[in-house]
Amino acid sequence: MKKSFLNKLTIVLLVAISTLSGFKVQAQEKPVDLVYPHLDAANSRWFFFSSACRPFGMVNLSPDNEIGGAWGSGYRYDTHEVKGISHVHAWQLSALSVMPVNGEAKDLKDDYYSPFSHETEVVAPGYHKFILDRFGITAELTSTTRVGFHKYSFSKAEQKSILVKLNGPNGPCKIVDGKIEKVNSREFTGYVTNAPTRRRPKETPVFFYIELSEPTQELVTWQENEISEKSKGVEGMDAGAMLVFKDKQEKPLLMKVGISYCSAEEAKNNIKVELNHWDFDKVAADSKEDWNNWLSKIQVKGASKNDRVRFYTDLWHGLQGRRIISDASGTYCDMTGDGRKVKQIPLDKNGKPKFNHHNFDAMWGAQWTIATLWPLAYPQVASDFCNSMLNYYNDGGLIPRGPSGGNYTYVMVGASSTPFVVSTWMKGIQDFDIDLAYEGLKKNHMVGGIMGKAGYEHRTSEGGGIDKYIELGYVPHPHAPRAEAYHKDGAGMTMEYSFQDWTLAQLAKSLGKTDDYNYFLKRSSNWKNLFDTSYGFIRPKDNEGNWRTPYDPYEYQNDGFVESNAAQMTWYIPQDYAGLAELMGSKAAMASKLNNEFAQAQKLGFTAGKKHSDENRKRARNISINYGNQPSMQCAYIFNDIGAAWLTQKWSRAVIDSVYTGVSPYVGFNGDEDQGLMGSLSVLMKIGLFQLDAGASENPKYQIGSPIFNEITISLSDNYYSGKTFKITANNNSKENIYVQSVKLNGKSLGRMYLLHDEIISGGEMVLEMGPEPNKELK
């Protein structure tokens, strides 16, 4: 009775939250209550949407409305039909789609989709409830990190069943093989196997262990059209299963599903470790509390309710997507070699794994997003990712830039992990093997490393052009015509390599490797070889050193630049904006030019479109600066570095207003949040701290921008940092008062427009006075 009452109360509260009403008294606001999971859900891709999921959770359980393809699939707001409930929505991977139903296998096995309605839906961090209208079943979902927890309330008691999908399309690929085996009437185990993809070329099984709150009457399985009643299990292609219950009452049915990339046993163990009870509401509440703790690492006050909702939704996105793949025991699956190998993360003195191992989409753009956010507010996460990368290095011989299924995908280009690792180290997060890391990073920057490979280049190492880069000082474009790879864009790669070289040089310097420092520092100026002074823009060169012709600085992609154009990539030189200014005439000339590029981009709303696919529309994709993707998302903060801080304030606020302010299923991240990158970017711009160079230099700088909140309090990790909190106060802040008039740090005028890492992590307060007119003297 009490539990039921609480349950109802929770639902009422969640409804209130999700509709953004109530909570007039700001003091009562909990960050988790502000998260709006439906943001951008109309433009969802497979791994974008989350509900029943923990931070970086291996399991993220949610209904799928579209199931075909990596794009436009998963939970899609405008498709009002559930086609299954999957446990894994990850980069190149899905796993275990189930569906509670009423009926018989013969009728339903190929026809079990059900309409649902947003009107009866509740969705919040760690919790999802919806009604399958066809069956009258209310499904509720929550999870621990590795276990999905289902609660199904059947309105009809007859033929209560749960369909288990063991084949067919599910997100980025087909499930080509599956198995389910009955352990006993309440426990089932098995796996589903993801077909290879162009990006993840090996079959990848995901194991599951199912535990039920009540016994099944029988397991019905099928293979193609042959249905087996009272089955012990089934395995192979075109298989499926239905768990049929004898219970004719309407009491809710609970189901735990442990997931593992290693084995069914580890899946079972994940349940044992993480979910040893049947109290669904407690898990939902725990999940909520878990999220609230994570989200509360950055507390904000002021601005509008809408702004705070969007902020915590952005932050929430910054803490998922790049999912854990190791088990509670520390086992994980190494797929870098010839076969599947189950391996073990070292354990600490308490017998717990020293870190969580991860899958993740590209680190391409991480330098301006998670490389700042995580070390600042979640240093343990940054540490885990560095250790994950070293784990891959130990297993496969390369530090990855976006692994999936325990193996490399070679997504995008360059050694995009280098800035992240260097930044983490430079910030004093040093609980990983830096010698091993340096060895791996350096390998990536040389022939034989990841800079030799362009996008998804699995079989060869030609598309990356590192040999040409070393020989000629740039990667020619076009080049490597026969290499089976995407993004063989020489100029774009040159720009990225140059910057990544600079970050590696900083680490070399810090480690006393002077020769390496000099070598990579020299390479870091290779961008100059592609700077065409006659246009003031980067321009591709061919193998003979001829400028690319015809050339249009705004022509999008396919012309030497990766998901960008020359105009955007010209600003991709955080290692040397002084050098760029010199080539453009002066810092003032450069600021004027960049200011104009922003003014041009503003006409298109600062993004190449509202959907990733919009970038195929010529006018939009030829934008001067694009805040819908990673290549030019640092641009607003460049002004800070060249004596025009007020323009950073102006344009970062304009971008926030235009791109990162809306709260609806139809806006958000222009259809591609990229697993925490765009969410993190938005968070950083909104708190007014940004690291142009990824924070890869010693005692790294944080550029001071124009925070949108009156108060921002960052909790500093006890394990890594000496201070308790760093607070930013922006007095007189408003939508109009976007300009910083003065900056004080701990009561003293700062005299510069950046903070040093040490100043933040030792705790304290920065006070900004805000006003409607720029103070152009602040530099």
| Contact residues for a copy of itself, defined by CB under 8 A | 532-536, 547, 549-552, 584-585, 589-590, 592-593, 595-596, 599-600, 602-603
C-beta of 590 vs 677, nearer to a copy of itself:
590
Question: Min. distance of Cβ 685 from a copy of itself in angstroms?
Answer: 22
From CA 440, how far away is CA 436, in angstroms rounded?
6
Question: Min. distance of Cβ 591 from a copy of itself in angstroms?
Answer: 9
C-beta of 180 vs 601, nearer to a copy of itself:
601
C-beta of 243 vs 591, nearer to a copy of itself:
591
Burial zone of 249 (CB within 10 Å; 0-12 exposed, 13-18 middle, 19+ buried): exposed
**Dihedral, 381, 383, 385, 391 alpha carbons, nearest 10:** -140
Question: Min. distance of Cβ 479 from a copy of itself in angstroms?
Answer: 20
Question: Min. distance of Cβ 589 from a copy of itself in angstroms?
Answer: 4
For the chain, state the CA radius of gyration: 26
Burial zone of 195 (CB within 10 Å; 0-12 exposed, 13-18 middle, 19+ buried): middle
Q: Shortest CA distance to 669 belongs to which of 661, 657, 678, 658? A: 678
- How far, in Å, are 357, 465, 523, 541 from residue 472 at the CA level? 38, 10, 11, 10
Three-class SS state of 171: strand
Question: Min. distance of Cβ 656 from a copy of itself in angstroms?
Answer: 19
From CA 667, how far away is CA 617, in angstroms rounded?
18
Question: Min. distance of Cβ 585 from a copy of itself in angstroms?
Answer: 4
C-beta of 230 vs 618, nearer to a copy of itself:
618
Assess whether the previous peptide bond of 478 is cis (omega < 30° from 0): yes
Question: Min. distance of Cβ 681 from a copy of itself in angstroms?
Answer: 23
C-beta of 248 vs 617, nearer to a copy of itself:
617
Q: Give the neighbor-by-neighbor strand order of the sheet with 60-63.
A: 52-53, 60-63, 85-90, 93-102, 160-165, 239-245, 216-223, 226-228
C-beta of 584 vs 689, nearer to a copy of itself:
584
The amino acid occupying position 594 is L
C-beta of 403 vs 490, nearer to a copy of itself:
490
Q: Are 254 and 212 in contact (CB under 8 A)?
A: yes
- DSSP designation for 196: P
Two structure tokens written together for 610: 């509202």
Question: Min. distance of Cβ 558 from a copy of itself in angstroms?
Answer: 15
From CA 575, how far away is CA 562, in angstroms rounded?
19
C-beta of 190 vs 536, nearer to a copy of itself:
536
Question: Min. distance of Cβ 642 from a copy of itself in angstroms?
Answer: 12
- DSSP designation for 303: S
C-beta of 593 vs 686, nearer to a copy of itself:
593
Q: How far, rounded to the nearest angstrom, does the alpha carbon of residue 349 sit from its chain's CA centroid?
A: 31
Helix (H) or strand (E) holding 519: helix 514-523
C-beta of 512 vs 550, nearer to a copy of itself:
550
C-beta of 262 vs 538, nearer to a copy of itself:
538
Burial string for 196-210 (b: 16+ CB within 10 Å, else e) reads bbebbbbebbbbbbb
Two structure tokens written together for 670: 């222009």
Question: Min. distance of Cβ 55 from a copy of itself in angstroms?
Answer: 41
C-beta of 113 vs 554, nearer to a copy of itself:
554
Two structure tokens written together for 677: 């990158």
Question: Min. distance of Cβ 473 from a copy of itself in angstroms?
Answer: 18
Q: Shortest CA distance to 560 belongs to which of 490, 493, 625? A: 490
Question: Min. distance of Cβ 776 from a copy of itself in angstroms?
Answer: 13
| Beta bridge mates, 129 | 122, 140
Helix (H) or strand (E) holding 95: strand 93-102
Strand intervals (E) in 261-404: 298-301, 331-334, 341-344
C-beta of 596 vs 746, nearer to a copy of itself:
596
Burial zone of 7 (CB within 10 Å; 0-12 exposed, 13-18 middle, 19+ buried): middle
The amino acid occupying position 646 is W
Question: Min. distance of Cβ 593 from a copy of itself in angstroms?
Answer: 4
